[in-house]
Amino acid sequence: MNIQMIGTGSAFAKKYDNNNALIEVPGFKLLVDCGITLPKALHETNRSFDELDAVLISHIHGDHVGGLEEYAFQMMFLYGKKPVLYIASSLVEPLWEQTLRGGLTQGPLQSIDDFFEVRRLEEGVEHELHPGLTVRLLQTEHIVGKNSYSFIFNQHFFYSADMKFSQALLEQLVENGVNTIFHDCQLIAPGVVHACLDELLTLPEPLQEKVWLMHYGDTMENYIGHTGKMRFVQQREIYTV
Ligand SMILES: Nc1ccn([C@@H]2O[C@H](COP(=O)(O)O)[C@@H](O)[C@H]2O)c(=O)n1
Ligand SMILES: [Zn+2]
Ligand SMILES: [Zn+2]
């Protein structure tokens, strides 16, 4: 499985695009989150919405869903298709009612199903998205009252939604077979709604070796060499995990 971060930036980053990823297995390309900067960033990566097979959403913040309106409209008006949207069941209603409805509705097109082929996912269930690609949703702590789901792909690759620090969770994941962790990282403490670098640096070194940092601010380069055994994911680079 290959992963390319179309962006690695935090919500306010300007040097880096929104923390959205493209996961690829033979015959299938999955976009993970679709933030405000995604349409332009995808274009700059010489890719188009039409080549994606589906999008998977972690939670409802602009840097993760703000590009979905353009995705839906481009697919409808440029390609005559309805994109496949994988999303936790609990997020379907808030995504439509609180984020997309205002921009997308027109004439007879009044429901999320008019724009997306919605595939509802349940937490804790192993879902096969395509032969060679499974995902399990894990609800992780981010903002009180807003559901947020991290992902375990192919039972060994953990991709954090925006989440608070939890050493216990990371240790449990590794015990259960996870060998690579892409984790959001706020460079400056306190993390509040994200794990911050100081917290992640308290992880034991063998665990740090499995951790790659993403969702970082514009000053990331100042921290190179100061992340213990953890490494920064580089925007647009392709990793095999
Ligand atoms: N100093 C800050 C700045 C922002 N927040 C919260 O972050 C959320 C948006 O960013 P994401 O990376 O989570 O998409 C939003 O809920 C802000 O309230 C914060 O807590 N502190
Ligand atoms: Zn975010
Ligand atoms: Zn968030």
The residues lining ligand 1, judged by C-beta closer than 6 Å to any ligand atom, are 10-11, 61, 63, 143, 162, 192-193
Which residue matches tokens 């949207």?
Answer: 85
Integer CA distances (angstroms), 26 to 4, 8, 44, 128, in order = 14, 24, 23, 14
**What pLDDT is recorded for position 158?**
99
Closest-lying ligand 1 atom to the alpha carbon of residue 11: 12
Confidence of residue 183 (pLDDT cuts 50, 70, 90): very high
Q: How many domains does the chain have?
A: 1
- Residue 219 corresponds to which tokens in the numbers above? 């000053």
Closest-lying ligand 1 atom to the alpha carbon of residue 142: 13
Q: Is residue 41 part of a domain?
A: yes
Q: Is residue 241 part of a domain?
A: no
Residue nearest to atom 10 of ligand 1 (CA): 11
Ligand 3 centre and the CA of 60: distance in Å? 7
Q: Find all residues with CB under 8 Å of 13, minimum gap 6, and list them.
A: 216, 217, 218
- Is-contact 67 37, C-beta < 8 A? yes
Distance CA 233, CA 241 (A): 12
Q: Is residue 239 part of a domain?
A: no
At 207, the amino acid letter reads L
Ligand 3 centre and the CA of 101: distance in Å? 20
Confidence of residue 205 (pLDDT cuts 50, 70, 90): very high
18-50: pLDDT as tens digits: 999 999 999 999 999 999 999 999 999 999 999
Residue nearest to atom 17 of ligand 1 (CA): 193
Domain span including residue 63: 2-233
Q: Is residue 238 part of a domain?
A: no
Q: Is residue 47 part of a domain?
A: yes
